[in-house]
Amino acid sequence: MPSETTGLPVMRVENLQKWFPIRQGILDTLLSKTEPAFVRAVDGVSFTVAPGEAVGIVGESGSGKTTIGMTVLRLHEPTGGRLVFLGRDITNLEGNALRDFRRIAQIVFQNPYESLNPRFTVYDTVAEPLRLHQVDTPQKQQELVRLALERAELLPPETYYWRYPHALSGGQQQRLAIARAIVLEPKFLVADEPVSMLDVSIRAGILNLLKRLIQELDTAMLYISHDLATVRYICHRTITLYAGQIVEMGETETLIRRPYHPYTQLLVRAIPRINTRGTRRRVLLEGEVPDLVRPPAGCRFHPRCPFATDKCANEPPPLLEVESGHFSACHYPERAAEFRARLESGIGIDAESIVPEGESSGEAL
């Protein structure tokens, strides 16, 4: 299994920030005495992705997952931090250098019907990146288009060449989008919720396809999803993102089986599961992702945390290694085992029994 210490990372993200300015009217700008406001969509995120490795990012809507994917590809300009691709700083690339980077860094979007040009045939859709980057001769381009469609399992390729996206099923459209993304054999691929728009019956096929492609092409993949089940199936490591910051990170199976951060624990428990003992108790995560214009002080999760203390409300917790290769940003990682046990037991959470006497806590679930 690939890891952060195996060879040179394909993508290294260092303290990445992406803040979006809030636009104000001319009158508001002239009369305002306050500093400009920003939505802090991504605020200090660091991780790596190795060749042949799939790293998942999970979290609620509004947590900043897609913003990270767009920013590491330089589709959004980073506000701060550093992006290092195959040992080269790409944070401020421009012109031809940025064009060369985008040739080997591609994205598969969530909704294939919106991401595909309805006026392009299947052949033109897959050939477009080759033409934009002036790859080889028309004869060679035809060979590469055929190979990409075969890899995406649109078989036989010739029967698809002159079809348009509207004539394809949802699964075929997403396979076409994947064929377009891999025709240049990228070193880095972002998959942004690639199966969320598809029927459950065909999701497994797309996931198996992505899994096979990153192995065959030795491609690093950043897989963005809100679905822990698909992340568990395809990703080697997983990052839990909350309000633009990493709250937990580690090998996927370990993170799901032994989550240390209360947010990850509640995400795992929010998934319904049936086993030989029946249906486990489902714990719903209450509240909303905080306002990222004015994020909470201290730990950003503390307003929703069942055992937050005054320390959580005032001091941001560092992301520390709690076991080999497993990191959590919580002031009280030693309470994780007891918290998990209570969740698994189905008896509910009594915050007062977890938080030491004399410390104030959040509301019990």
Rounded to 10 deg, the angle between the 122-132 and 138-151 helix axes is 120
- Give the whole-angstrom CA distance, residue 264 versus residue 268: 6
pLDDT for 211: 95
Question: Angle at the Cα of 261 (from 260 to 267), degrees rounded to 5?
Answer: 110
Place of tokens 């300015």: 21
Burial label, 336 (beta-carbon count in 10 A; 0-12, 13-18, 19+): buried
* Per-position pLDDT tens, the chain of length 365: 444 434 689 999 999 999 999 876 666 655 665 667 899 999 999 999 999 999 999 999 999 999 999 999 999 999 999 999 999 999 999 999 999 999 999 999 999 989 999 999 999 999 999 999 888 788 999 999 999 999 999 999 999 999 999 999 999 999 999 999 999 999 999 999 999 888 888 999 999 999 999 999 999 999 999 999 899 999 999 999 999 999 999 999 999 999 999 999 888 887 766 554 545 555 566 777 888 999 999 999 999 988 889 999 999 999 999 999 999 999 988 777 677 777 666 544 444 333 433 444 443 33
- Does residue 124 fall inside a structural domain? no
Residue 198 is assigned to a structural domain of this protein = no
> Is residue 27, in this structure, part of any structural domain at all?
no
Give which of 120, 116, 101 is closest to 178, Cα–Cα: 116
Instruction: Report how far residue 209's alpha carbon sits from residue 231's, in angstroms, rounded to the nearest whole number.
Output: 14
Other Cβ atoms within 10 Å of 288 Cβ, number = 11
Distance CA 348, CA 332 (A): 19
How far is Cα 177 from Cα 332, in angstroms, rounded to an integer?
A: 44
| Number of structural domains the chain divides into | 1
Q: What distance in Å separates the CA atoms of residue 326 and residue 248, rounded to the nearest whole number?
A: 8
**Does residue 332 belong to any structural domain of this protein?**
yes
Phi, psi values for residue 100, rounded to 5°: -65, -40
Say which residue the tokens 């409300």 belong to: 313
pLDDT at 281: 55
Domain that holds residue 322: 258-365
357-to-312, 337, 352, 363 alpha-carbon distances in Å: 16, 19, 8, 15
Is residue 287 included in any domain, yes or no? yes
Name the nearest CA neighbour of 42 among 243, 192, 239: 243
Note whether 145 and 123 are within 8 A (CB): yes
Work out the burial of residue 337: count CB atoms within 10 Å of its CB; fewer than 13 is exposed, 13-18 middle, 19 or more buried: exposed
In a domain? residue 134: no
Residue 44 lies in a domain: no
Residue-level pLDDT at 353: 37
Is residue 268 one of the residues assigned to a domain?
Answer: yes
